[in-house]
Amino acid sequence: MATFVDRVKLHVVAGSGGHGAASIRREKFKPLAGPDGANGGRGGDVILEVDASTTTLLPYHHKPHQKASSGDFGKGDLRHGGRGEDLVLPVPDGTVITTEDGTVLADMTGIGTRFIAARGGSGGLGNAALASRHRKAPGFALLGEPGQERTLILELKSVADVALVGYPSAGKSSLIAAMSAARPKIADYPFTTLVPNLGVVEAGEYRYTVADVPGLIPGASQGKGLGLDFLRHIERCHVIVHVLDTAALESDRDPLSDLETIESELSEYAAGLDEPGEGRVPLMDRPTVVVLNKTDVPDGADMADMVRERLAERDVPVLDVSAVSHKGLRELSFVLGELVEKARASLPEPSSAPIVITPDAVDETDFRVVTEQFEGATAWRVVGDKPERWVRQTDFTNDEAVGYLADRLARLGVEQELYSAGAVAGSTVLIGPDDDAVVFDWEPTMMGGAELLGRRGTDKRLEDHHRPTREEKREQQRARTDARLGRLAAMEEERRAGHWADPAVDEDSSS
């Protein structure tokens, strides 16, 4: 059973937001006291956090699907829904997070470093939040948004100061076991080490970590053997130690050819890496130490004497050691400690990343309308964050909620844009990307004077909320007074002209 995993595919789903509530407050003597539906709670985030006690990605190899909890629904009496609990997933120091296409999202180094892998959905608004002067008692609420869903690739790159590289059975595991408290598996056959081993070395005032990278063979940079799986573990090291087997049993091998082969594989692997980070030296330019191992064996000592002069031409430290008899290990530990200390001193001071604020472009539109073929006919698709979010928040079983959506789309200018794109009444309109779009048979509201209507349930032609000024009121009063005086003058003129009958005379004549 595997105990170490350094690459996994992780599917994360954030929590969905809770739905808003549509409720009406009821009190004594006030059966309809106004809306009191509260908002739904926000869904929980999925967060990756560097944890000191985590050294492998094995838990996510067994459980690749992780989901955060959703927010609670809103309730009446303005009781807002609770927020969903965040799901914090511990990862080892040195984990690199990428998308499936290889785009790097985060490089997790440093205990406590966090990365939000998936954001929770927003909670829906209750009808209390939707109430306004024109819409005093909404009979609907907005739905909560679904949480973000992503597929990520997690790769572990060991954070070690020194990397031991070499052919299988070169004695790397024995060397790290002799220099530190690490106890890797050791045997007399190739590829004994199947996972990188880390050990802490203390030499005087020096303290550093050493990584034992599984054995490399020709073609490792193209995926042969175990090299391609574990070469990533040397990317962060400060010093590279070539462990050469001076007592190899194969007749076609010698320390010089082994060194050239491993350097060639490292060079090919380094060529495929991105540019080194700030203050990080390119892989092939980092300090190198050559270790001639197994010199306690007579054949090994003779081979070391034969190649030492050739190796000295490389102008790198060359040391004779033996992991069994501990020959030369003290000197090696101090040499590595000095090189690591120099490399650490050359690194820039750690600083927090600047906060970058990217405002939206002034001329950036909230949506766009594209024409495409849908089920053999021409359709118009509305693509944009706002329309797509509004559609997700709409309860299509509630006619008032659908009307509210239509009003929002009309105010945003979607209808005008559809007209400009050539859509007519009855055209197929899709809102949203790909197969998750909502399909409508478009019924424009901008027909037959409907463009004069205001919010749903109101009519600008019947409602005039203009408040006249004091001067306008005086002018209206003067106009009414002048009209009244004019009517009285006309009646007086008609009376003098005899156009009016005297009631007393009419009654006498009738008798």
Identity of the amino acid at 343: A
Give 222's contacts (C-beta < 8 A, 6+ positions apart). Answer: 228, 268
pLDDT for res 9: 93
CATH of 162-346, one of 3.90.420.10, 3.40.50.300, 3.30.70.1060, 3.30.1300.10: 3.40.50.300
Q: Are 120 and 147 in contact (CB under 8 A)?
A: yes
pLDDT for res 151: 95
User: Where are the domains positioned within the chain?
Assistant: 1-156, 162-346, 368-452, 470-510
173 is in an annotated binding site: yes
383 is in an annotated binding site: no
Q: For 48-90, how does the pLDDT look when each residue is reduced to its tens digit (9 = 90+)?
A: 999 988 878 888 989 999 999 999 999 998 999 999 999 999 9
323 is in an annotated binding site: yes
pLDDT for res 222: 47
Q: Is 407 exposed, middle or buried (0-12, 13-18, 19+ CB in 10 A)?
A: middle
Confidence check: pLDDT of 21 > 90: yes
| Closest-CA residue to 343 (of 292, 291, 283, 290) | 283
Confidence check: pLDDT of 475 > 60: yes
Highest-confidence range of 12-21, 216-225, 286-295, 425-434, by mean pLDDT? 12-21
Q: For 256-274, how does the pLDDT look when each residue is reduced to its tens digit (9 = 90+)?
A: 888 888 888 788 777 766 5
Question: Is the alpha carbon torsion for 52, 53, 56, 60 positive or negative?
Answer: negative
Tokens of 502: 């005297």
Question: Is the alpha carbon torsion for 59, 62, 65, 66 positive or negative?
Answer: negative
% of the chain surpassing 90 pLDDT: 21
Confidence check: pLDDT of 364 > 60: no
102 vs 63, 228, 268, 277, 284, CA distance in Å? 22, 16, 19, 17, 23
pLDDT for res 187: 42
Higher-confidence residue: 115 or 499?
Answer: 115
Higher-confidence residue: 361 or 419?
Answer: 419
Give 168's contacts (C-beta < 8 A, 6+ positions apart). Answer: 190, 191, 192, 214, 215, 216, 217, 225
pLDDT for res 102: 84
Confidence check: pLDDT of 299 > 70: yes
Mean pLDDT (whole number) for 272-299: 76
| DSSP letters spanning 285-306 | GS-EEEEEE-TTSHHHHHHHHH
Q: CA 428, CA 375: separation in Å to the nearest integer? A: 10
Q: CA 15, CA 118: separation in Å to the nearest integer? A: 9
pLDDT band at 300 (very low <50, low <70, confident <90, very high): confident
pLDDT for res 354: 54
Q: CA 464, CA 452: separation in Å to the nearest integer? A: 13
Confidence check: pLDDT of 226 > 50: no
User: Is residue 372 classed as helix, strand or coil in its secondary structure?
Assistant: strand
Specify the range with the lowest mean pLDDT, choosing from 28-32, 151-155, 328-332, 427-431: 28-32
Specify the range with the lowest mean pLDDT, choosing from 124-138, 144-158, 162-176, 309-323: 162-176
Confidence check: pLDDT of 13 > 80: yes
Specify the range with the lowest mean pLDDT, choosing from 7-21, 248-262, 331-345: 248-262
Q: How far apart are the first and last CA of the chain?
A: 129
Question: Is the alpha carbon torsion for 409, 415, 417, 418 positive or negative?
Answer: positive
pLDDT for res 350: 56
Q: CA 61, CA 47: separation in Å to the nearest integer? A: 17
168 is in an annotated binding site: yes
pLDDT for res 227: 45
Degrees, nearest 5: CA angle 317-318-320:
140
Mean pLDDT (whole number) for 137-162: 88
pLDDT for res 146: 93
Confidence check: pLDDT of 355 > 60: no
pLDDT for res 257: 85
Mean pLDDT (whole number) for 456-473: 65
| Adjacency order of strands within the sheet including 288-293 | 197-203, 206-212, 162-165, 239-245, 288-293, 318-320
| DSSP letters spanning 475-509 | HHHHHHHHHHHHHHHHHHHHHHTT-SPPHHHHHHH
172 is in an annotated binding site: yes
pLDDT for res 191: 41
Q: What is the mean pLDDT of the chain?
A: 80
Confidence check: pLDDT of 419 > 60: yes
170 is in an annotated binding site: yes
Confidence check: pLDDT of 452 > 50: no
Q: For 188-211, how does the pLDDT look when each residue is reduced to its tens digit (9 = 90+)?
A: 434 444 456 777 888 888 888 888
Name the fold adopted by 1-156. Spo0b-associated Gtp-binding Protein; Chain: A, (2.70.210)
322 is in an annotated binding site: yes
131 is in an annotated binding site: no
191 is in an annotated binding site: yes
105 is in an annotated binding site: no
% of the chain surpassing 70 pLDDT: 79
Name the fold adopted by 368-452. GMP Synthetase; Chain A, domain 3 (3.30.300)
459 is in an annotated binding site: no
210 is in an annotated binding site: no
324 is in an annotated binding site: yes
pLDDT for res 363: 53
pLDDT for res 119: 94
Q: CA 291, CA 329: separation in Å to the nearest integer? A: 10
482 is in an annotated binding site: no
294 is in an annotated binding site: yes
Q: CA 65, CA 81: separation in Å to the nearest integer? A: 26
Mean pLDDT (whole number) for 423-434: 85
215 is in an annotated binding site: yes
| DSSP letters spanning 381-426 | EEE-HHHHHHHHT--TT-HHHHHHHHHHHHHHTHHHHHHHHT--TT
